[in-house]
Amino acid sequence: MNEVLKKTTTLPVMEHFYTIQGEGFHQGKAAYFIRLGGCDVGCVWCDVKDSWDAKKHPEYEVGTLVTEVTKTPAKMIVITGGEPLMHNLDALTKELKAAGLQTNIETSGAHPLSGMWDWICLSPKKFKAPLPEIVLHANELKVVIFNNSDFEWAKKYAALVSPQCKLYLQPEWDKAAQMTPHIVDYIKANPEWELSLQIHKYINVP
C-alpha cells in the first residue's frame, strides 16, 4: 500500500517552468508546464528524448509541485512529457484543481487515462497507437506531420474523435520547411483542420 501511495503522490519531473503555450488551441496563452519523465512511445523525431528514462529525473512530491506553480500568476497548467499517462495523475490534478487551476494534458493516449482534466490534447503516434477510450475524451487532436503518409493517420483519427474535438496539423520541427506547404494545401482542401506551429521555438522561449 505504501508503495502504491508513493507512486501516486510523487512523480519524476524532467523540468517545470512558466512560459506560454506554443502549440494548438491554447497557443499564445500563459501556461505553467510540468514535464514528466518516462516514455515508451519512442518517436524517432522526438525533441525531448532525455525525458524517456523516468529514472534519470528527480521525484517530486505533488504538494511541492503545486507550491512551485502557485508562486507564479499561472492559471493554466500543462502536464506533458515524455508520456505523462505512464503515471497515475489523480493526486496531482486533484491538488491543482483544489488550487483553482486549469488542468491540461498533452498525451499520445497510449496509456490509461488518469487525472481530472479541463482539456485533453491527444497527439496520436504511429509508434504506439492511442487507446480507444482516450480518443473519445479528446478536446483537441494534434497530429505531427513528418511525411506525407501522416495525413492518412490524421484522417483516421479525425474520424474517431468527437464532433466537438478541435483538429490541428503540426509540422515536425526539423521538417517544417518541407512539410508546411503540404499542410497548407491539405487544410485548404480539408478546412475542418487548422495549422499548429511551435511558436515557442520561433520566439525562443521554453
Question: Angle at Cα 51 formed by Cα 7 and Cα 160, nearest 5°?
Answer: 85
Chain segment 111-168, per-residue pLDDT in tens? 999 999 999 999 999 989 999 999 999 999 999 999 999 999 999 999 999 999 999 9
What pLDDT shows up at residue 182?
Answer: 98
4: confidence class by pLDDT, cuts 50, 70, 90: very low
What pLDDT shows up at residue 49?
Answer: 84
pTM here? 0.93
pLDDT above 70: percentage of residues in the chain = 97
What pLDDT shows up at residue 7?
Answer: 53
Amino acid letter for position 48: V
- For 71, other C-beta atoms within 10 Å of its C-beta total 9
Mean pLDDT on 98-123: 97
The domain defined by 2-202 folds into TIM Barrel (3.20.20)
**Residue 3 confidence (pLDDT) above 90:** no
Chain segment 27-72, per-residue pLDDT in tens? 999 999 999 999 999 888 787 888 899 999 999 999 999 999 999 9
- For 193, other C-beta atoms within 10 Å of its C-beta total 21
6 or 72, higher pLDDT: 72
Phi, psi dihedrals of residue 101, rounded to the nearest 5°: -100, 150
CA-closest candidate to residue 65, choices 1, 106, 14: 14
Phi, psi dihedrals of residue 17, rounded to the nearest 5°: -165, 155
